[in-house]
Chain A
């Protein structure tokens, strides 16, 4: 099929303003949108700049706005988005170049919620036991690949850069509901602050944006409930 990719460009060393470039080429409907972007970079215009690595939806490098919706470019087939595809960088972060945004604030928020296992008791010789049910309680939020698709689709995060955002809450949820972890009081206190979970207005954009189908709004709701009931 003949496709037209309209791609957001920002090349600050060459010109000051951002603009759109159009590229027309042949593609298979089963090609990924990322295959189209790679084709442009490798054969039409080597200056096109974007992050990507694993190319199959695991590493989280290539979250982009594709026809206005946050998706991983490697998890969307061209046949599913049509012959005219508009590609833009994630919203709400500073653009460094073309489709590459500055993720520092995103990872800063991630780090702020103690995104690591806490248990200071001496461990047993073998594994700590955990029931299948207890493991299931936080399974969904272990799937997060930190691609940023959720946080950059959230109106609250757009309007308030200090809001920790859905991704950081997902990461906190993964530990708060892990019954082996002992850091939840501190984590919940962090998320109960002004720019924690209460900035979430349950718009559900995050859930729709997640390429791993994590029920993010539900997870945020569970964290809110844990704060209110003072219990995880």
Chain B
């Protein structure tokens, strides 16, 4: 970190998953713009690649009628009416054309007998405003995300996008309400680089690593979120975090909802199809929050398998052909990690921390919006780290991929337009100063005595799993708040082992740990503050949804360990809130 190299671009994309690459491709297609993509991984390692089941678009390819208005209704209802309807309308209207665009980029979707994009059922997706399940999830076997990531990376290469692989952004140059670039650590050398830009988009993904059982990659540490939070930008709706019902027991690896979409059934220790009790109409295909709560209730009632904290996902009635052809990755996971064959044996599952509905507040073009609705010039956010908000209090399956590509595309176009009308703004004389100071201080702890970052993470993850997960109470959340403050103080005293500059992942993981504790704190504060139950936020001490007081978004700003919470209204255009039953 001695030498500091400088670069100047028109546009910078931070993160190379589905949304970041979609934005990059759009920027490259606009021509005459210098664009760079920075990723702390090689782009193809990004977590979009693990998405399995499908991307929702009302194409109606399966001999069933479908309309984007129905997709919109399902998304609004799935969000427990907290999603902004203006944004949801944009997403569901544009979803079919973006799916076609992906196909035109070569994406190898599975096909119907007549050669069209194949579609399958998914939780919460219905025809005619909630009547019956509809086949809306466009899929490529059970590796839809892998194919989206690969296709967009391929197109980025084709269009000459410039990549900085294994460059980890460690600070944002936000001054006087505008973003002027970023500071990144070149992992291979340990050197800091300053990237100046007119427009910068954060596409850094989620923060599932805050919880013990998670489907998220070990690298999903919420970097983009805590970086903007440290610069005084609020985070929206952080109390809404999705637990996917079907993670592999103990490991948290995702088993796609597509298994239930193809006919898989959840069963308790008595072999009962318990979802019939909790969601008489859609049963196993109810929304994820509903299914995760049902599983927790079954376990609490002693009906987990052998009385333990898991239930079965039974896919045995699907038959070998469906499993091998439509769900090959799932079969592989079961055989590799569980030593079982899903064709003949049920899969042991438990809810797994999966997706942040909340994040950096943006408008429908990805533009970041501050506490008073003011725009942060030159700063954009897309994908899981952003909150448009299209998912509200609970995201429907397939809609994360829709979100990535629809808003990735819109942000790319908007950034190009912004760049054409904007000048590079000056940065402070030593833009890398704060980041250098922070990292050098951490590096200087190498070999000294201090707190172990991994131990802090372990305690945080267990705490969040026990106290800030599917069911919450004031008591649990207050306890979490106190313990997280202790963890934050301990995180300031982390000492690392590795003194070297090149490829020091000991250093970057310690740095990420501090950020994650801050995100866990914001999540807990917002969960404590919201005294109602809505979507994924389920307060046992406030079991009902309270539209009168809480039909509004939370905006949290962290200042020196304290969290200030403000609000903004929900956009309601077509569908008035009503009771949510599946």
Contact = CB atoms under 8 A, between A and B. Distances in A.
Interface stretch (A121-129, A201-209, A216-224): A121-129
Given A49-B505, A54-B45, A60-B44, A142 B108 contact: yes
Interface string B109-133: 1111111110000000000000000
Contacts of A119: 104, 106
A200 B143 CA distance: 29
Interface stretch (B151-159, B311-319, B480-488): B151-159
A49 B501 CA distance: 12
B337 A77 contact: yes
Contact of A107 (B42, B59, B150): B42
B500 to A, nearest CB: 4
Contacts of A117: 105-106, 151, 154-155, 158
Given A59-B49, A116-B158, A45 B44 contact: no
A59 B113 CA distance: 31
Q: Closest 10 CB pairs between A and B?
A: A117-B106, A46-B497, A42-B454, A129-B115, A116-B154, A13-B500, A116-B158, A123-B104, A59-B45, A47-B498
A181 B50 CA distance: 25
B572 interface: no
A11 B500 contact: yes
Interface in A71-129: 75, 77, 96-97, 100, 103, 107, 111, 115-119, 123, 125-129
Nearest to A136: B111
Chain A interface extent, by class = 35 or more
Given A13-B502, A47-B497, A97-B500, 12 more contacts: A30-B337, A45-B497, A49-B506, A52-B218, A53-B41, A53-B219, A116-B158, A130-B111, A131-B115, A132-B111, A142-B147, A180-B106
5 contacts: A43-B454, A53-B219, A54-B218, A96-B188, A135-B111
B159 to A, nearest CB: 9
Contact of B42 (A13, A38, A103): A103
B140 interface: yes
A111 B165 CA distance: 15
A145 B46 CA distance: 11
Nearest to B141: A139
Given A54-B50, A59-B47, A142-B147, A127 B157 contact: no
A117 B157 CA distance: 11
A151 interface: no
Contacts of A180: 106
A58 B49 contact: yes
Interface of B: 41-42, 44-47, 49-50, 59, 100, 103-106, 108-117, 140-141, 143, 146-147, 150-151, 154-155, 157-158, 188, 217-219, 251, 253, 329, 332-333, 336-337, 339, 452, 454, 496-506
- Residue from the set A51, A118, A174 with the largest chain B CB neighbour count within 10 Å: A51
B47 A14 contact: no
B46 A59 contact: yes
Interface in A16-42: 30, 32, 38, 41-42
A143 interface: yes
A177 to B, nearest CB: 11
A116 B107 CA distance: 10
Contacts of A142: 108, 140, 143, 147, 150
A50 B506 CA distance: 10
Contact of B217 (A43, A54, A111, A143): A54
A111 B157 contact: yes
B218 A75 contact: no
Given A115-B154, A116-B155, A145-B146, A61 B45 contact: yes
B45 A46 contact: no
B47 to A, nearest CB: 6
A161 interface: no
A55 B158 contact: no
Given A117-B151, A178-B106, A56 B253 contact: yes
A96 B502 contact: yes
- Residue from the set A41, A100, A117 with the largest chain B CB neighbour count within 10 Å: A117
A117 B101 CA distance: 12
A142 B154 CA distance: 12
A59 B154 contact: no
Nearest to A133: B111
A54 B47 contact: yes
Contacts of B103: 127-128
A12 interface: yes
Contacts of B41: 53, 59, 61
A135 B316 CA distance: 27
A192 B45 CA distance: 30
A135 to B, nearest CB: 5
Contacts of B496: 46
- Residue from the set A42, A116, A130, A138 with the largest chain B CB neighbour count within 10 Å: A116
A126 B100 contact: yes
A29 B100 CA distance: 46
Contacts of A131: 111, 115
B502 A178 contact: no
Contacts of A50: 505
A162 B165 CA distance: 22
Contact of B336 (A45, A49, A57, A127): A57
A102 B42 CA distance: 12
A53 B216 CA distance: 9
- Residue from the set A32, A145, A180 with the largest chain B CB neighbour count within 10 Å: A145
B505 to A, nearest CB: 6
A175 interface: yes
A146 interface: yes
Given A117-B151, A142-B108, A53 B502 contact: no
Interface in A155-188: 174-175, 178, 180-181
Contacts of B42: 61, 103, 107, 146
Contacts of B251: 56
A100 B104 CA distance: 36
A181 B106 contact: yes
Contact of B50 (A49, A59, A128): A59
A71 to B, nearest CB: 11
B157 A145 contact: no
B110 A135 contact: yes
Contacts of A41: 454, 505-506
Contact of B501 (A13, A46, A139): A13
Contacts of B49: 54, 58-59, 145
- Residue from the set B46, B454, B496 with the largest chain A CB neighbour count within 10 Å: B454
Nearest to A212: B332
